[in-house]
Amino acid sequence: MLFSSQERRISFGLLVMRIGLAAVLMIHSLPRLFGGAAQWKSVGTTLNYANAGIPVEILGFAVSLLESLAGVSLLSGYLFRTSCIAMTVIFGFYFFNYMNIGYRTLTLFSLGIASIFIGLINTGPGRYAVAVKLEKK
């Protein structure tokens, strides 16, 4: 058996989930963040119904930046629940956007990822997070 206690097994599972989600968020958001105004406009246009008068470039930049920072937060455990709440909201926006334009697979993907973030809000980062390790010292 890899770990002797149930708590360590759960924490290891949370670590694997955090690393996987962080990798997906980084692969998804960093090229768009560093892609410049054309990429930001594309992201902002994707979320155009949530615009509320914000220029699409600024909206796209803000969403890409939030996704990148959430990836760092998932890796380290700092501001973990706050970033999970932000990602739940963002993927909720993606869900409603894709539902309106008819992409069923993307709709289900967005709903699934938002559900994972809701679960992580309830569980926390686990014992194998940098933030938890530094707090104990």
Let me know if 72 is exposed, middle or buried by CB neighbors in 10 A (0-12, 13-18, 19+).
middle
pLDDT above 70: percentage of residues in the chain: 92
Handedness of CA 47, 48, 53, 59 (dihedral sign): positive
pTM of the full structure? 0.85
Q: Where are the domains of the chain?
A: 6-136
**Per-residue pLDDT at 95:** 86
Low-confidence spans in the chain with pLDDT less than 50: none
Nearest to 73 by CA among 54, 57, 59, 87: 87
